[in-house]
A = this chain, B = another copy of it.
Amino acid sequence: MTLPPPTRRPLPGLLDTEAIRKDFPALDRVVHDGKKLVYLDNAATSQKPRQVLDVLNAYYERSNANVHRGVHVLAEEATALYEGARDKVAAFVNAPSRDEVIFTKNASESLNLVANMLGWADEPYRVDRDTEIVITEMEHHSNIVPWQLLSQRTGATLKWFGLTDDGRLDLSDIEQVITEKTKIVSFVLVSNILGTVNPVEAIVRRAQDVGALVLVDASQAAPHMALDVQALGADFVAFTGHKMVGPTGIGVLWGRQELLEDLPPFLGGGEMIETVSMHSSTYAPAPHKFEAGTPPIAQAIGLGAAVDYLTAIGMDKIAAHEHALTEYALERLRDVPSLRIIGPDTAQDRGSAISFTLGDIHPHDVGQVLDEQGIAVRVGHHCARPVCLRYGIPATTRASFYLYSTPAEVDALVDGLEQVRNFFG
């Protein structure tokens, strides 16, 4: 049944996945009566290492308390752990100040937070009917719908960059898209469906020329490459914990301090206030101003442990590993008959999520037959339906890799696709 893989060259820059995989209990999972799990759905969410789970358990078993303002031991420990996680995340993205790191529940909340702040802001940030919002056609729904809502609510015009046939942003009309009326440009650093890595510099430069703010959706970047918010030159950067070996229920918004000071709060409640009377309230300084209510304490601490884990391995090494794997996967997939890559077909400026179609076999069927062999991929529009519309396809199958993925798993995918073709051939 299994085809012999083509004479596989040793790939340069691979991590010691044998050691790494031991840290991830879920990778030992056996499914469908004895098939070893081949987890290639990392763009949807990553698996979690023992090191992160241990930190979660230690928190709940020893130090669990509500944070801030407590004078008892547990409250002080919980606060130190929670704020310590903020330090770790700040260092991870090279933030100039820890106070620029806001904990949210996921990247979607981070993106919505910015959209809402701008809707309620005073000049010069305020988005209203005479202004424009710019996104791109390759955004995740979480970076489309908040701007559609903001545009409906304020009357602002929503504009976007289109895509080239090979899955890149079409910036040829950048001067017409980003104009003096533009208040905010929000775009994805690495596309979750196409894999494309976008040219930040060109967009940031144009945005700065016209005085627009820039929000970068780094949800698919933070897990996979070194992220330096200062080098990016953006005003806000959003990402999400569960895709970077962290727990679910935690996201991050980084924002420039002056902006966080000037912009209005979003959610109101405990923790985000300075002083409250029935008649009026004043707000705590950032980041607390944007963290209403009991925060996701254990989850932030877990994200801190995730960041420790990734840092210990090294983000550059992780990027090199995935790059090698992506190059190998593209090469092997190229040989699968009737397979069409949706997105860049070389590994250059490209993340490790690879979307494709297989003849006219529906992605649901591709995914299901792969699943029967233990291979977990994602099928559908990957919360980026405009991309499917753009390329005239109903959906794609997507395989996506991470630090624990192996060339053997790429081979398993290719073999699996052969089975799919036999089955529906």
Contacts and interface: CB of A to CB of B under 8 A. Distances in A.
Contacts of A278: 137, 144, 158, 160, 386
Quick one: which of A69, A112, A144, A294 has the most chain B CB within 10 A?
A294
A45 B112 contact: no
A275 B254 CA distance: 29
A385 interface: yes
A337 interface: no
A235 interface: no
Nearest to A162: B278
B386 A268 contact: no
Interface residues of A, number: 95
Interface string A388-399: 010000000000
B141 A276 contact: yes
B72 A377 contact: yes
Contacts of A41: 65-66, 70, 72, 74-75
A108 B292 contact: yes
Quick one: which of A109, A247, A251, A280 has the most chain B CB within 10 A?
A247
Contact of A242 (B271, B281, B294, B370): B294
Interface string A98-129: 00000001111101100100001000000000
State the main secondary structure of chain A at its contact with B.
Answer: mixed
Number of copies: 2
Contact of A65 (B45, B153, B293, B297): B45
A222 to B, nearest CB: 14
Interface stretch (A7-15, A31-39, A200-208, A308-316): A31-39
Interface string A354-371: 000000000010011011
Quick one: which of A249, A385, A389 has the most chain B CB within 10 A?
A249
A114 to B, nearest CB: 12
A233 interface: no
B379 A71 contact: yes
A293 B377 contact: no
A278 B71 CA distance: 51
Given A53-B57, A65-B44, A389-B277, A292 B71 contact: no
Contacts of A378: 66, 69-70, 72, 75
A249 to B, nearest CB: 3
A280 B144 CA distance: 9
A181 B47 CA distance: 52
A305 interface: no
Interface string A49-80: 00001001100111111100111111100000
A272 interface: yes
A380 interface: yes
Contacts of A47: 64
B371 A71 contact: yes
Quick one: which of A109, A270, A389 has the most chain B CB within 10 A?
A270
Interface string A155-166: 000101000000
Interface in A131-145: 137, 140-145
A344 interface: no
B105 A376 contact: no
Contacts of A367: 71-72
A96 interface: no
Given A45-B65, A142-B268, A278-B386, A248 B298 contact: yes
B276 A62 contact: no
Contacts of A298: 247-249
A185 to B, nearest CB: 15
Nearest to A54: B57
B277 A376 contact: no
Contact of A281 (B75, B107, B111, B144): B144
21 contacts: A29-B74, A31-B73, A44-B66, A45-B65, A60-B247, A69-B380, A75-B378, A105-B105, A105-B293, A105-B296, A106-B293, A108-B267, A137-B278, A140-B270, A141-B268, A141-B269, A144-B278, A146-B269, A248-B299, A249-B297, A270-B383
